[in-house]
Amino acid sequence: MRVPVVLISGVNPDAMASTMVGLQFDLPGAVAVRHAIDVERGLLTRTVSDLTGVVETHETLLEHACVSCAIREDIVPTLERLARDGRWQSIVAHLPVGAEAAHLCSVLTWDTRLARFLRISAVVTAVGSIDPVHDLLGDDLLADRGHHCSHDDRRGVGEVLAAMVEYADVVTFNDARDQVDPVARGLVTALARPDVAITEGGHGLEGATLTGRLHQHTRTDAWTSPTRVDALPDLRTEGIWRLDLQSLHAFHPERLLESLELLGAGAHRSRGCFWLPTRPGRALTWDGAGGQVSIGDHAGWALRSPFTRLVITGVGAAPASLRTSFDDLLVRPGESGTWSVSEDGFEPWLGPIREVA
C-alpha cells in the first residue's frame, strides 16, 4: 500500500513548525521530516522525528543551494526511504521555507517508480496570523526576511505565498487564540481553490481526511494554470475586490514594456496569461503580487485561440485605473504590423523570438 504524504509549505517558519507539530500528533502513525536550506553555507539539513522523538538528523552539502537541488538530492530519496521502511503509516513533509509544493508534486506524480511507494494526499499551506495581508500583498522579498532559497532568489514574499495558497488543498492560520482578521481570511478565500478548507490553529480536519484523496493533481493544475478559462466563483467577503480582465487581443509589446507598472504596481495579487503579436504561438504567464511582476513562457496555444486574461485581487477598493490600463495596453485596431518581428524587448525574460509573427 502506498504511504500518504502531507506536504507543508509556507513563508513563515513559526507557522510551518506549529502546523507540522499539530499534524504529527493528529495523523495516524506519522513520521515527520523537516528540510531547511542554509543558503550561505550551501547546506541542507534534514530532521526526521516521530512521537518517540528525533529519529535522525543529517546535513548535506548542496552543489547549488536551491530548491531543485534539495528535492533531487535529499527530499525525494528521503520520502521514498521512509515510505519503504514500513514503520509509519503516514508522512508529514515540512518543505524548506519558501519552497513551493508544486515542484515536488510534479516529480512524485509523474515518476511511476516512486508512485509504487508513496502518494501526495494533501498539500497544506501554513499562513502566519500576525499580518497575513501584508505577507500576501506587501513588497517584501524572501531575501529581506532571510528565507530565500538560493543566492539569486529575488522572489517576493507575496508572490510566493499567494501561489502556495492557490495550490493548497488546506490553508491553515497558525494561531487560533485570536480570531483571524476577516479581511485576511477573505483574501485567502478569494485566492484559494473554491473547495479548499481554511482552518485556524491547525484544527478542523480529521487525519483520515488529510491522508485520503484531498490532493488531485489534475484539479489543482486546472485552478493554478495561467491559461485557466473557467468562470470564477463570486466573492462573498466585504473588503475584498477582484477584477477578471479578459480579451482576445494581444498586449502591444512596446506599450507593455514601457508601462508594465500600470497593472503590476500596487498592493494586489495578479496572475494569468497574455500573448504578444511578436510571439503569437506562445501563451505567456503573468505572476505578480505587491508591486512585483514575473513574466515567462508557459506553453504553446495548441489548438486554442490566443487570449489575454488577468485576474487581479486586493483589499479595500479596486483602483479605478486598472481596467482602463488593461484596455490601453491591448493592441488597437489598425496597429497590426507596426512592431518588429525580430525582437520585441522581452528577450531577457522570454528568450529570442523563434517564429515570425
Residue 335 pLDDT > 90: no
Residues 259 and 205 in one domain: no
pLDDT attached to residue 129: 86
Residues 246 and 306 in one domain: yes
Predicted confidence (pLDDT) per residue in 13-30, tens digit: 999 999 999 898 888 899
Residues 249 and 302 in one domain: yes
Residues 148 and 251 in one domain: no
Is 13 part of a structural domain of the chain? Answer: yes
Phi, psi of 52 (to 5 degrees): -85, -15
Is 355 part of a structural domain of the chain? Answer: no
Residue 89 pLDDT > 80: yes
Is 232 part of a structural domain of the chain? Answer: no
Residues 193 and 246 in one domain: no
Instruction: Please name the residues in contact with 235: beta carbons below 8 A apart, sequence gap of 6 or more.
Output: 186, 190, 241, 242
Query: What is the number of structural domains in the chain?
Result: 2
Which of 60, 117, 107, 112 lies closest to 86, judged by CA? 117
| Domain limits for position 299 | 240-350
- Distance from CA of residue 13 to its chain's centroid? 17
pLDDT attached to residue 177: 56
Alpha-carbon gap, residue 198 to 65, rounded angstroms: 32
Residue 356 pLDDT > 50: no
Alpha-carbon gap, residue 50 to 194, rounded angstroms: 33
Picking from 72-86, 174-188, 215-229, 269-283, which range would have the lowest pLDDT averaged per residue?
A: 174-188
Strands 240-247 and 308-315: antiparallel
Alpha-carbon gap, residue 208 to 28, rounded angstroms: 8
Picking from 68-72, 92-96, 129-133, 160-164, which range would have the lowest pLDDT averaged per residue?
A: 68-72
Assign residue 335 the CATH number of its domain: 3.30.1220.10
Tell me the average pLDDT across 134-154.
90
pLDDT attached to residue 42: 84
Residues 270 and 218 in one domain: no
Is 135 part of a structural domain of the chain? Answer: yes
Residues 182 and 244 in one domain: no
Residues 213 and 248 in one domain: no
Alpha-carbon gap, residue 344 to 79, rounded angstroms: 45
Is 235 part of a structural domain of the chain? Answer: no
Residues 183 and 287 in one domain: no
- In the 3-class helix/strand/coil scheme, how is the chain assigned residue by residue? CCEEEEEEEECCHHHHHHHHHHHHHHCCCEEEEEEEEECCCCEEEEEEEECCEEEEEEEEECCCCCHHHHHHHHHHHHHHHHHHHCCCCEEEEECCCCCCHHHHHHHHHHCCCHHHCEEEEEEEEEECCCCHHHHHHCCCECHHHCCCCCCCCCCEHHHHHHHHHHHCCEEEECCCCCCCCHHHHHHHHHHCCCCCEEEECCECCCHHHHCCCCCCHHHHHHHHCCCCCCCCCCCCCCCEEEEEEEECCCECHHHHHHCCHHHHCCCEEEEEEEEECCEEEEEEEEEEECCEEEEEEEEECCCCCCCEEEEEEEECCCCCHHHHHHHHHECCCCCCCCCCCCCCCCHHHHCCCCCCC
Residues 56 and 154 in one domain: yes
Is 229 part of a structural domain of the chain? Answer: no
Predicted confidence (pLDDT) per residue in 192-239, tens digit: 999 999 998 766 678 888 999 999 989 999 999 999 999 998 888 889
Residues 177 and 277 in one domain: no
Is 269 part of a structural domain of the chain? Answer: yes
Residue with cell 481554511: 198
Whether this prediction's pTM lies above 0.85 is answered by yes
- The winner for highest mean pLDDT among 30-34, 59-63, 126-130, 150-154 is 30-34
pLDDT attached to residue 193: 95
Residues 199 and 343 in one domain: no
pLDDT band for position 187 (50/70/90)? Answer: very high
pLDDT attached to residue 357: 43
pLDDT band for position 65 (50/70/90)? Answer: low
